Amino acid sequence: MSPFLRLGAFAVRHRLAVLVTWGALLLVALPLAPRTGSALRAGGFTLDDLEAARARDTLVREIGLPPSSLAVVIRSETAARAGDPAFEAEVAAAMADVPRAAHVTGIQTHLLSPRQVSPDRRTVYEIVTLDLAPDDSPEALAPVQAALRQVPGIEALLAGGPAFYGDIQSVSESDLRRAELISLPLAALALLLVFGSVVAAGVPLVVGGSAVVVALALIFLLASVTPMSIFVLNLATLLGLGLGVDYSLLMTSRFREELARVGGGRRPDGSTDRTVVDAAIVATVGSAGRAVFFSGLTVLLGLIGLVLFEFMILRSVGIAGAIVVGFAVLAALTLLPAGLSFVGPRLEALSVRRRRGAAAADPVAPRSGYWERLANRVMDHPWRVFVPTLAFLLLLGAPFLHVRFNAPDATILPPDVPSRQAYDILAREFGEGEFAPLVLAVRTAGPALDPANVALLYDWTRRLAADPRVTRVDSIVNVDPRLTRAQYQLLLASPGGIADRFVAMAVASSTRGDLTTVTLTTPYGPNANEGRALVEALRDPASELAPPAGLRVLVGGGAAEVKDVVDRIGQDFPRTGLFILVTTYLVLFVLLRSVVLPLKALVMNSLSILASFGALVWIFQDGNLSRVLDFGPLGFVETTQPVILFCVLFGLSMDYEVFLLSRMKEVYDRTGKNRLAVARGLERSGRIVTSAALIVVLVAGSFAFADIVLIKALGVGMAIAVALDATVVRALLVPATMRLFGDRNWWMPKRLERFIAARLPIVEGATLVQVAALALAGVLLLASCSPGGRVLGVDPEPRLSPPSTPAPPAAVADPRAIRFPSDEGPHQRLTEWWYYTGHLRAADGRRFGFEYVVFRAERGDFPVSWASHLALTDEREGRFRYDQRSFVGQQADRSSPGEGFDLAIPAAGADGAVASDAAPWVMTGVSGQDSLWATSSEAGFGLELRLDAQDRIPVFHDLDGWVDFGPAGGSYYYSRTRMAASGTLTLDGEALAVEGSAWFDHQWGDFISVGGGGWDWFAVNLDDGTDLTLSLVRGPDGSYPLAYGTFVFPEGGAAHLDREAFDVEVVTTWTSPTTGATYPAGWVVSVPEEQLRIELTPTVADQELDTRATTGVVYWEGSQQVRATRGGRTLGGEAYVELTGYGPGVEVTPP
């Protein structure tokens, strides 16, 4: 008994165990299969040993260039343009949280690069650098997207590799869902038409679907530990559904024939004859099961060809495809027989049409049906059919002669996808070449800054700049075209360091030791022929653009990466193709015992695949039928598509060849008549092959509705190839060629026949082992062609050895102790402010609140930036006034080291220059003796105050004066909570003598936009000498991730308050008529341990400051009425509250 008969008997005998095992597999797989898409990744189109990849790796590893980046495209939706304060404030607000997002290492802002501003100033882009490799960069997409704020007045979109890959991920999953919704009902309808019974039609769907679910679960587990391409999701589902249903269709159809041959499987009383049913199942597995196995084996060999590539996308498709095909075969040979054993004759239940007389299972039994008549007509006139059919297939394949291979870009996505929209904006406003530069890693003989090397670089880059294909060259010797060679040599070799700060910046960002970077910007995108020709010229030693002696160059970026991928796939494909051809031939040779038939089968397959390749070019490269199929023509064919199609289709088409030739061989072995074998074989298999092909065409064709052009192209190409193969090739070309070859179809040399009979007898068990061993040996042999276990790889060129460089000095760690008076002055930190709020009383009893603040900020290479706000609340008149200033430059700092602070913020004119007719706003202070002077002619008020801390020591917040904001950074923070104030308040030209108190905050550190959503700050002075400050730092969602406070006792001690020590209740809100922002406008503050309850009410509702012109924010800060009780005792007091980060629609969520 053959192994297949034994397998059928096993499935029947242990049918319950088989079903339970599959049921358990499905229970485990069902939760995992839907998560497969989340474990897959985009990318996989490059290799580490390609020159472009080595160039990128060298620059990342030695110079520290970011391995990947994305672009935030920001477009104004109003009249505001880049450079306008309103626009820049909106951009700053939108980008505020992005630097703190996971995997973000930096922001290259348009403020530092005019190239990032469109000619009409409506569009800018910010480059966000990441710490992830290109294939891993989509991991940064979600945190960056979450950090990017939606700000009215501008539209912000993400572009670049991470965004492109991320959208491929989501659109691929959407494409799969759409394809399933289309293909499954159509496949069910087709099966219903084929079988005429709901049960018989449902069995292949259930079995095929089970195989797909289990296979996807295994792919999920595999993708969790090794990289696998997102394209696996669609292709694996396509193959799994198509082949799973195909194999079940073949097996079910043969079972019906076997059952019909023995009377239908029922006893005279109508009960199921179990013996007859089981015998029919065993016979089905023994015949159709054998064909299914060899069909699956041929498909598997094609997919192994993909595994032989080193590119992740091809390997993963091959591995996933092999898993799916393996489970489809396994389900057809185990799950289906076990299920049929239970179903038995009830397979015909729920018939939708009356079934015609069942065909006998005897392949020689006379029966003249449609397919037999068609075969005979073809064989009556073989040349008349062969010549035009061959010409037709060659004509379909002719467009492949002008194919152009390229790598995918954002144009494979539909136009309404965000990353595609961003790409289109960038390409239109800035040109494709701006985002696909060639990046050259240049190794010099000795230090790159050596005068001789500078001269070589200077002369060579001038030759590069003169090439008409190059629009710009960036390097350490291309900072400014007015600088000569001699000037560069002097600057870069200066013993005292590089004097020119712009040249110094170029060196710092592009050069280490003997390695430097040269960047070429071209007008062309990465897929343009001109760009690839430029790469060839740069790499050609005989070219005018070749680097001079003394410079070694690796060419990477843009077109270089595309060229390297296309060239490597082209180099590797012949060996993969040869492997598939040879192993497929050997499998068919073992199955058919013929020298000629396997060769003919290879030719037939190649013709149908060639026709599909031609259609692929005609449709997707040339753009024909693009309106019908709803896509934009690419102008090229993605490089991996023909490879995937060849490997998949070769096995899939051979699948039908095995079905057909197996039936022909059964007849020929019994009769020895070639013509009869062809006619009867086509009669017995034609309907099933066509039905099976129809299923695959429906499944593959459903992907024509995909949004991603690559998926659409794969689906259409596969559907065309299978349709041609099952109709034109199998129905016309195969019978014609079988008739022309006659008995020579079955020829095998006698000596070889005897050898095969002795070495490979027709015992399927031995055959399976030998074929598997043969395929494995072939894989191992091909793998040994490359060192280090690389499969079909080429030897990598040696990397350029990096110079040894000392480790950078360690940074001083925070926190440290605050020291006075030195820490009262400015610090070289990202953010710092000196902040006064207070309460003044005039002799006539009028009361005023005031705010006066100076902000200092430094960011990388920007000069120090300053901003100042001045505000006054007239509590009796209910009027609020404010003004603001900003200044760029160190001149605002007049402080002497160790002597406190002396700050003077000049007024700026309309052109940004210092206005000569306005006095600066001045703020000085040391050891608690401070003075303030500021006047606003525009707002009609001014202050001149002297402040005295009266020997009260500063209060350190969070005990030691260091506040940790977590991801936002940390801040040094101290306050003088109760300073005596006296001086003059000028109001509408009237000078008023005033006195009162002030609260002073000094805060500095490496922090930005604490909390992401703003903060609520309270400063309260009670009549019993108690001072209280609370800070509620708000997150982007309106919650309060950080809340803390400081309680100052009347005798002078202070205590830190954590968020559990106090409670803040918002009792009402106020909406600004100017900005529409809604703010809290009344509070009840409780400190239970101190038995303290404070009610705060704004003295004036509208104390909002629109400071977007200077600091990019709108906030509310104002004086309060205070009513308090402590231990049952009523207290009065004074208070100030600051509210930042509020906007329309933001809900207040107290801690």
Tell me the DSSP string of 892-903. GB-PPTTS-EEE
Contact call for residues 559 and 55 (beta carbons, < 8 A): no
Residue 368 has pLDDT above 70, yes or no: no
Residue type, 818: I
Mean pLDDT of 679-705: 82
Mean pLDDT of 529-555: 93
Omega before 761 within 30 of 0, i.e. cis: no
Q: Which two tokens stand for residue 611?
A: 């026709």
Determine the Cα–Cα distance for residues 600 and 736; give it in Å rounded to an integer: 12
Mapping DSSP to helix (H, G, I), strand (E, B) and coil, where does residue 1067 land?
strand
Residue 781 has pLDDT above 60, yes or no: no
What's residue 1047's pLDDT? 97
What's residue 968's pLDDT? 60
Determine the Cα–Cα distance for residues 483 and 501; give it in Å rounded to an integer: 14
What's residue 935's pLDDT? 95
Most confident among 110-114, 173-177, 889-893, 1005-1009 (mean pLDDT): 889-893
What's residue 984's pLDDT? 97
Residue 915 has pLDDT above 60, yes or no: no
Determine the Cα–Cα distance for residues 198 and 188; give it in Å rounded to an integer: 9
The torsion angles phi and psi of 762, rounded to 5 degrees, stand at -80, 70
Determine the Cα–Cα distance for residues 755 and 982; give it in Å rounded to an integer: 115
Determine the Cα–Cα distance for residues 396 and 226; give it in Å rounded to an integer: 39
Determine the Cα–Cα distance for residues 128 and 141; give it in Å rounded to an integer: 11
Looking at per-residue pLDDT, the higher value among 349 and 107 belongs to 107
Looking at per-residue pLDDT, the higher value among 889 and 780 belongs to 889
Among 443, 537, 361, which Cα is nearest to 803's?
Answer: 443
Looking at per-residue pLDDT, the higher value among 110 and 1116 belongs to 1116
Q: Which residues contact 754 (CB under 8 A, 6 or more apart)?
A: none
What's residue 860's pLDDT? 42
Among 351, 331, 343, which Cα is nearest to 274's?
Answer: 343
pLDDT band at 500 (very low <50, low <70, confident <90, very high): low
Mean pLDDT of 473-498: 75
Mean pLDDT of 466-471: 94
Omega before 920 within 30 of 0, i.e. cis: no
CA end-to-end distance (rounded Å), the chain: 78
What's residue 439's pLDDT? 95
Q: Which two tokens stand for residue 761?
A: 């007898």
Contact call for residues 63 and 512 (beta carbons, < 8 A): yes
Give the other-Cβ count within 10 Å of 327's Cβ: 27
Q: What is the 3-state secondary structure (H, E, C) of 405-437?
A: EECCCHHHCCCCCHHHHHHHHHHHHHCHHHHCC
Mean pLDDT of 597-626: 87
Percent of the chain predicted with pLDDT > 90: 39
Q: Which two tokens stand for residue 1032?
A: 């509620």
Q: Report pLDDT digits (tens) over 851-875.
A: 999 999 875 444 678 899 999 999 9
Beta strands in 875-966 (DSSP E): 879-888, 901-905, 921-926, 929-936, 941-948, 955-956, 962-964
Q: pTM of the full predicted structure?
A: 0.62
Mean pLDDT of 473-490: 80
What's residue 28's pLDDT? 93
8-state DSSP, 952:
P
Q: Report pLDDT digits (tens) over 100-139.
A: 999 999 998 887 677 888 999 999 999 999 998 887 888 8
Beta strands in 690-842 (DSSP E): 831-842
What's residue 995's pLDDT? 97
Q: Indicate left, alpha or beta for 241 from its phi (over 0: left) and psi (-120 to 50: alpha).
A: alpha
What's residue 764's pLDDT? 41
Determine the Cα–Cα distance for residues 324 and 314; give it in Å rounded to an integer: 15
Q: Which residues contact 1143 (CB under 8 A, 6 or more apart)?
A: 1075, 1076, 1077, 1114
What's residue 783's pLDDT? 39
What's residue 1102's pLDDT? 96
Mean pLDDT of 656-683: 83
Give the other-Cβ count within 10 Å of 387's Cβ: 11
Contact call for residues 563 and 636 (beta carbons, < 8 A): no
Q: Report pLDDT digits (tens) over 32-76.
A: 988 888 888 777 777 888 999 999 999 999 998 888 899 999 999
What's residue 862's pLDDT? 47
Q: Which two tokens stand for residue 15?
A: 């049918």
| Tokens 């195909």 sit on residue | 246
What's residue 40's pLDDT? 83
What's residue 818's pLDDT? 94
Radius of gyration of the chain (CA): 39
What's residue 878's pLDDT? 95
Beta strands in 522-675 (DSSP E): 551-556, 637-638
Residue 1022 has pLDDT above 90, yes or no: yes
Contact call for residues 19 and 335 (beta carbons, < 8 A): yes
What's residue 367's pLDDT? 56
Residue 206 has pLDDT above 90, yes or no: no
Among 1080, 1138, 498, 519, which Cα is nearest to 836's?
Answer: 1138
Q: Residue 492 belongs to what H/E stretch?
A: helix 485-493
What's residue 301's pLDDT? 81
Determine the Cα–Cα distance for residues 442 and 558; give it in Å rounded to an integer: 17
Angle at 1144 (CA atoms; ends 106, 1069), nearest 5 degrees: 125
Q: Residue 296 belongs to what H/E stretch?
A: helix 290-307
The torsion angles phi and psi of 217, rounded to 5 degrees, stand at -65, -40
Q: Are strands 405-406 and 637-638 parallel, antiparallel or unpaired?
A: parallel
The torsion angles phi and psi of 919, rounded to 5 degrees, stand at -75, 150
Determine the Cα–Cα distance for residues 971 and 360; give it in Å rounded to an integer: 88
Among 400, 397, 403, which Cα is nearest to 607's?
Answer: 397
Average pLDDT, the chain: 84
Determine the Cα–Cα distance for residues 722 and 469; give it in Å rounded to an integer: 44
Among 554, 425, 587, which Cα is nearest to 60's?
Answer: 554
Contact call for residues 272 and 345 (beta carbons, < 8 A): yes
8-state DSSP, 272:
B
Percent of the chain predicted with pLDDT > 70: 88
Most confident among 414-418, 515-519, 529-533, 732-736 (mean pLDDT): 515-519
Mapping DSSP to helix (H, G, I), strand (E, B) and coil, where does residue 836 land?
strand
What's residue 761's pLDDT? 52
Q: DSSP per residue over 136-167, as a string?
A: GGGGGHHHHHHHS---TTEEEEEESHHHHHHH
Q: Which residues contact 518 (CB under 8 A, 6 or more apart)?
A: 439, 440, 442, 457, 461, 464, 473, 474, 475
Residue 763 has pLDDT above 70, yes or no: no
Determine the Cα–Cα distance for residues 743 and 647; give it in Å rounded to an integer: 31
Mapping DSSP to helix (H, G, I), strand (E, B) and coil, where does residue 834 land?
strand
Determine the Cα–Cα distance for residues 856 and 833; give it in Å rounded to an integer: 6
Residue type, 780: L
Q: Which residues contact 63 (CB under 8 A, 6 or more apart)?
A: 509, 510, 511, 512, 515, 517
Cα distances from 347 to residues 267, 277, 285, in angstroms, run 16, 11, 17
Cα distances from 256 to residues 173, 264, 357, 360, 693, in angstroms, run 38, 8, 11, 9, 19
878 class by beta-carbon count within 10 Å (0-12 exposed, 13-18 middle, 19+ buried): exposed
What's residue 1009's pLDDT? 54
Mean pLDDT of 524-553: 92
Determine the Cα–Cα distance for residues 22 and 4; give it in Å rounded to an integer: 20
3-state helix, strand, coil in the chain (%, to 5): 50, 25, 30
| Tokens 């099952």 sit on residue | 726
What's residue 963's pLDDT? 92
Q: Report pLDDT digits (tens) over 792-851.
A: 333 333 333 333 333 333 344 789 999 999 999 999 887 899 999 999 999 999 999 999
Structural domains in the chain, sorted by start: 3-42+167-353+371-409+565-789 (1.20.1640.10), 51-166 (3.30.70), 437-556 (no CATH), 827-1140 (2.40.370.10)
Determine the Cα–Cα distance for residues 621 and 949; give it in Å rounded to an integer: 78
Among 1099, 969, 1091, 978, which Cα is nearest to 1029's?
Answer: 978
